[in-house]
């Protein structure tokens, strides 16, 4: 796209470039911004510096602030007496300058060079996106496999993993306005990824206890509680290889602390209040709700209303009050998910 308020300048540049490129034209800065932001916008912009109302520097600045246009290369077109302002243009994000009067071979060479660079950059960004998608799919596959392994050993949990993942997403999204500094979009996405892992430590629990058709003895319950420490040990060993990535940190906190209680009466460490990681506090409500409404060998399923009442009564004792508030605002959505995955 050629942006210039002088028709003669547009004609000269168009004559130089028309054999190799499709030419767009804008006679002022506002028109240039409009054309550049279209779906089929330009691949490179030749932008005159001196224009009325909105000069080239302002146009360039606005282009670079817009997500849709910031990656379009801008080449400033300037007369010789404007050359002292090159540094200013480059600071704004321009990639090159072309001086007037035009040298056709130089114009073609500089436009060609910037288009080649843009093609390479676009190709690289495409490869990065493809690689990111591939890693995301691989990570999701591994998490699903691990989670399903734990569920396979404890058949009574049924669709527990899928339901709790949906519950966690609802609670986290509801909490975001209150905890925007802590509960970022990235953390919500990661939390939904790792939620299915919350019970992977049950693979360490003997079948005689895990599948016992009745309530556990105090001794057996102590063994069952070890699934939290077992899960963290497994993830800690992975951490030696991949370091302290936020994904791994969230997974560790969730598998280890989702049975802690707000009043300190939980396990494995008996920590309380805000000392319990946020991801674990969210997981706790989702996990308990689903356990209450599900049939177990030692109990019939509670109704949705009974489960909601028990969670609300646990507000400030078993559960973080803010998490319970978020749950209560969306508890009708929980009932819908429970029916869908029954």
Structure confidence by residue, pLDDT tens digits, 122-133: 888 888 877 767
For domain 154-340, which architecture applies?
Orthogonal Bundle (1.10)
Domain ranges of the chain: 2-125, 154-340
Q: Is 74 helix (H, G, I), strand (E, B) or coil?
A: strand
Phi, psi (degrees; rounded to nearest 5) at 52: -70, 160
Tell me the Ramachandran region of residue 243: left when phi exceeds 0, alpha when psi lies from -120 to 50, beta otherwise. left
Q: Tell me what pLDDT residue 160 has.
A: 82
26 sits in which H/E element: strand 25-26
Average pLDDT for the chain: 86
Query: What pLDDT band is residue 159 in, cutting at 50, 70 and 90?
Result: confident
Q: Tell me what pLDDT residue 148 has.
A: 65
Mean pLDDT of the region 175-195:
87
Dihedral sign computed on CA atoms, order 256, 322, 271, 223: negative
Query: What pLDDT band is residue 72 in, cutting at 50, 70 and 90?
Result: very high
For domain 2-125, which architecture applies?
3-Layer(aba) Sandwich (3.40)
The residue with greater pLDDT, 123 or 326, is 326
Same fold? 2-125, 154-340: no
Q: Tell me: the pLDDT tens digits for 93-123?
A: 889 888 888 889 999 999 999 999 988 888 8
User: What's the whole-model pTM score?
Assistant: 0.62
Q: Omega into 269 within 30° of 0, i.e. cis?
A: no
Find all residues with CB under 8 Å of 204, minimum gap 6, and list them. 226, 227, 230, 231
Q: Tell me what pLDDT residue 244 has.
A: 54
């Amino acid at each position: 796209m050629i942006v210039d308020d002088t028709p003669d300048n547009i004609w000269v540049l168009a004559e130089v470039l028309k054999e190799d490129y499709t030419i767009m034209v804008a006679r002022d800065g506002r028109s240039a911004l409009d054309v550049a932001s279209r779906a089929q916008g330009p691949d490179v912009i030749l932008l005159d510096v001196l224009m009325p109302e909105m000069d080239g520097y302002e146009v360039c600045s606005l282009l670079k602030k817009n997500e849709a246009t910031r990656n379009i290369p801008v080449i400033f077109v300037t007369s010789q007496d404007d050359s002292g302002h090159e540094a200013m243009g480059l600071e704004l994000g321009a990639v090159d300058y072309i001086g007037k009067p035009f040298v056709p071979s130089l114009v073609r060479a500089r436009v060609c060079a910037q288009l080649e660079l843009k093609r390479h950059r676009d190709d690289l960004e495409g490869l990065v996106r493809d690689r990111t998608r591939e890693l995301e799919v691989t990570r999701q596959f591994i998490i699903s496999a691990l989670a399903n392994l734990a569920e396979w050993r404890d058949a009574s949990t049924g669709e527990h993993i899928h339901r709790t993942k949906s519950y966690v997403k609802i609670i986290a999204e509801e909490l975001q306005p209150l905890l925007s500094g802590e509960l970022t979009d990235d953390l919500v996405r990661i939390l939904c990824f790792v939620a299915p892992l919350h019970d992977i430590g049950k693979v360490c629990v003997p079948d005689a206890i895990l599948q016992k058709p009745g309530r556990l003895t105090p001794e057996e319950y102590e063994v069952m509680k070890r699934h939290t420490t077992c899960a963290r040990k497994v993830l800690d060993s992975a951490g030696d290889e991949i370091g302290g990535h936020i994904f791994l940190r969230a997974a560790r906190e969730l598998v280890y602390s989702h049975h802690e209680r707000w009043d300190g009466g939980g396990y494995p460490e008996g920590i309380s209040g805000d000392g319990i990681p946020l991801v674990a506090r969210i997981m706790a409500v989702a996990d308990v709700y689903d356990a209450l409404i599900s049939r177990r060998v030692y109990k019939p399923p509670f109704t949705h209303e009974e489960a909601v009442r028990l969670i609300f009564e646990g507000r400030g004792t078993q559960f973080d009050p803010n998490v319970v508030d978020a749950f209560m605002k969306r508890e009708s959505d929980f009932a819908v998910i429970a029916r869908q995955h029954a």
